[in-house]
Amino acid sequence: MRIKKYFKMYLLLPIIISLFTGCSALRNLKEDIKFSFYSQEKSKNLLKDKQVLNLYKKNFVSDKITSFNNERFLKKYGKTGLWLPYKFIKNIGGGVYFLTKYDSQKIPVLFIHGAGGTPLDWEYISRNLDNTKYQKIVVSYPSGIKLSYTVQIMEEKIQKLISKYNMDNLVIIAHSMGGLVAKSLIKELNTNKKIVNLFITLSTPWNGHLGASNTKELPYYIPSWDDMKKNSKFIKSLKDTAILKNVKHYLFFGYKGKTTIYGRDNDGTISLESQLSDYAQDAALRIFGFNDNHTSILSSRKVAKKINIILNDKL
């Protein structure tokens, strides 16, 4: 009897909300019911995909100045972006942000976070870079959405910034899954004119993540996890060594891991086999290992120091 009572209340919820808040709230509720579990749907719905992509573009800003104190960068929103990407797109939005006013005398450095992350992941490394030399730029995006969508939107927004500010050089530093996004982005940005000359990746799963193939028991379906499967179309597209032709790629990996169901050699999240994939090593100019786990590598003094050395062209 109690179950029937709660079920009736659930059915009456739209009517109750409309009485108190008006028709607009009812429309929003219907939209939420229609889309909020977009990330759970395992069927391919091209119409819904198109609608989500259009909203993603609409709510993805660029050419904005902000700081790491931006509320949108809170860790909880990184989790929202992973598990409920549509909710993130609708309520938080994404964007490309300058951390200071643009200065053409500085070298632009773009930071791309990984799965479940936010620009706040880069606070330590960013603060250890010389503000007088580097134009720091961060990207915020829902990491649960299809990676091809994120690459498409980032490329469009960054190309506009390149055109507006006459940028002829861009450094990209990426963590974890962000490295996959970044490499695909470089392919697009460097198609007609070489813009990205230097590329640094931290703990990137070049061969994907074994966990992405074992998600049947999880309550949520994450679109980006399809891209993270070892033999996914997205991963295969990155194995083209020509993507990083004439681009200096420095590959950082962590090895302070733990024994998991996927093995012992890892950084606590990503296996060494994936971080040190053959095709990634072949494209890298130098490779550096650190006694850090998947998270601590972002706040490592040694990592920050090495990045500074590379940016100062000492390697």
Q: Where are the domains of the chain?
A: 1-35, 42-311
Q: What is the pLDDT of residue 281?
A: 96
Q: What is the pLDDT of residue 218?
A: 63
Q: What is the pLDDT of residue 164?
A: 96
| Higher-confidence position of 49 and 76 | 76
Two structure tokens written together for 184: 């695909």
Q: What is the pLDDT of residue 130?
A: 93
Write down the pTM of the prediction: 0.85
**What average pLDDT score do residues 177-205 get?**
96
CA dist 126 and 134 (Å) reads 10
Whether pLDDT at 28 is above 70: no
CA dist 285 and 78 (Å) reads 31
Q: What is the pLDDT of residue 216?
A: 62
**What average pLDDT score do residues 248-263 get?**
84
Q: What is the pLDDT of residue 25?
A: 45
Q: What is the pLDDT of residue 215?
A: 62
Interaxial angle between packed helices 147-165 and 46-58, expressed in degrees from 0 to 180 and rounded to the nearest 10: 30
pLDDT mean across residues, the chain: 85
User: What does DSSP assign to residue 239?
Assistant: T
Two structure tokens written together for 103: 């200065």
Q: What is the pLDDT of residue 258?
A: 77
**What average pLDDT score do residues 113-125 get?**
97
Residues 6+ positions from 88 with CB-CB distance below 8 Å: 77, 80, 81, 94, 142, 144
Q: What is the pLDDT of residue 3?
A: 47
Whether pLDDT at 60 is above 70: yes
Q: What is the pLDDT of residue 8?
A: 46
Identify the burial level of 274 via C-beta atoms within 10 angstroms of its C-beta, where 0-12 means exposed, 13-18 middle and 19 or more buried.
buried
| Higher-confidence position of 40 and 298 | 298
Whether pLDDT at 290 is above 50: yes
Whether pLDDT at 261 is above 70: no
Two structure tokens written together for 8: 């009736």
The pLDDT confidence band at residue 314, using thresholds 50, 70 and 90, is low
Q: What's the one-letter identity of residue 116?
A: G
42-311 placed in CATH 3.40.50.1820: yes
